[in-house]
Amino acid sequence: MNPSPVLVLTAQGDRNIPFLTELRQMTTIVVGDSPRDFAGAAEDAEVILNWSGSLALLRDVFLLSRRLRWIHSRAAGLEQTLFPELIESEVILTNGGGVFSASLGEFALAAILYFAKDFRRMIDNQLAGIWEQFDVTMISGKTLGIVGYGSIGRAVAARARALEMRVIGLRRHVPQLSDQDPLIEQVYESEQRLEMLSRCDYVVVTLPLTERTRDLIGDAEFAVMKNSAVIINIGRGPTINEQAMIKALLEKRIRGAALDVFDQEPLPQGHAFYSLPNVLLSPHCADHTPDWLDDSMRFFLAQLDRFQRAQPLLNVVDKKSGY
C-alpha cells in the first residue's frame, strides 16, 4: 500500500462517500472538512481528492501539501477548484468530465421533446379537466446547435441524431470535426456564434465557466435567434446573461428555456424563472441518477490505479484555460 496518504476533502456534514473500503484497500486515506483534519498528513500527501470540499478548503490544504503531485475534482466544473497558486504550480489537475455526460444528454433530449410536444399545455389541460386538441411539432429535421462541443455536447448530439435532428456546434478551436465526427454537420468558431444561433431551432449550452465564456450569450445572441427557438443550459449558469434571457422570454422573442444551472443556487424565492410559463426549471440535478456518486468514485478509483502505475491520467485540465 502506498504510504503517501490521499486527502479526501468534503463539505461539512458530508458522509456520503461510496467505496471508501475499496479506496482504503488501495492507499492510506484521510477524510476531513477543515484544514486541521489534514495538518498531520498533508506534509506527505501526493494526492488530493476534492470530493465536495469548498474552494477555500482546497486552497488551504493545497498550501499545506508541499509534496503534492495531483488533485482530482469530483465535479466537472472548475470554478470552485482553480486558484492562482494551483494554476501556477506543476500539480496535475483532473476532473469528473464525462462521468455525467450520458445523463445530461438525456436531459437535453427530454427538454427538446418537452417543448416540441408542449407537455406543459397537456399537463395544465389535464389538471383543469380540459379536452383540447392542438398541434405538436416534430424534432426530426430540426437544427440543434451545441454551444461547447465537448463530452457533454457529443452525448447530446448522439441522442439528437438518433431522432434525425441536424446538429451543428460551436467551439473555441475548430478542428475538422465534420470529416471525423459523423454526429455533427458543421462547427463554428466563437466569433461566428451569431451566424450559428440564427440557424438553430434548439440551442444546448454545455460550456464551462471561464472569463471567456461568462455572458457569452446575451442580448445580441438572443436578438438573432428564431422566435420559435428553445435554449437549454446544462453547463454553467453565468455563461448566459440571465437578465437578457429573462427579457427574451418575457417578450417571447424565443419560445422557451430549459435550465439546470443558474447564476445563484439555490435559486432564490421570487425569482422570475419560477413563474415564467415558458421555462422548464431543474434544480441542478439533471445528472443526479441513483448511482451518480458511485460513478464519480469509480472514475477516481480508476484514475488512482493509473496514477499508482505511473500511467497517463484522464481528463487532465488546462489550468490556465480553465477547462
Active-site residue (options: 166, 199, 236, 255): 236
Q: 31-55: buried (b, 16+ CB within 10 Å) or exposed (e) per residue?
A: bbbebebbeebbeebbbbbbbbbee
As given in the structure block, the three cell numbers for residue 210 are 471561464
Helix (H) or strand (E) holding 306: helix 292-308
Active-site annotation holds for 284: yes
Torsion-angle region of residue 111: left (phi > 0), alpha (psi -120 to 50) or beta? Answer: alpha
Rounded to whole angstroms, the Cα distance separating 55 from 178 reads 38
Active-site annotation holds for 236: yes
Rounded to whole angstroms, the Cα distance separating 82 from 242 reads 24
Active-site annotation holds for 173: no
What DSSP character marks residue 81?
T
Angle at alpha carbon of residue 169, lines to 168 and 170, rounded to 5°? 145
Active-site residue (options: 66, 164, 265, 288): 265
Active-site residue (options: 284, 288, 306, 309): 284
Angle in degrees, 0-180, between the axes of helices 101-116 and 119-128, rounded to the nearest 10: 60
CA distance to 8, 114, 244, per residue, from 223 (Å): 46, 23, 10
Terminal CA-CA length for the chain:
32
- Residues annotated as catalytic (active site), given as ranges: 236, 265, 284
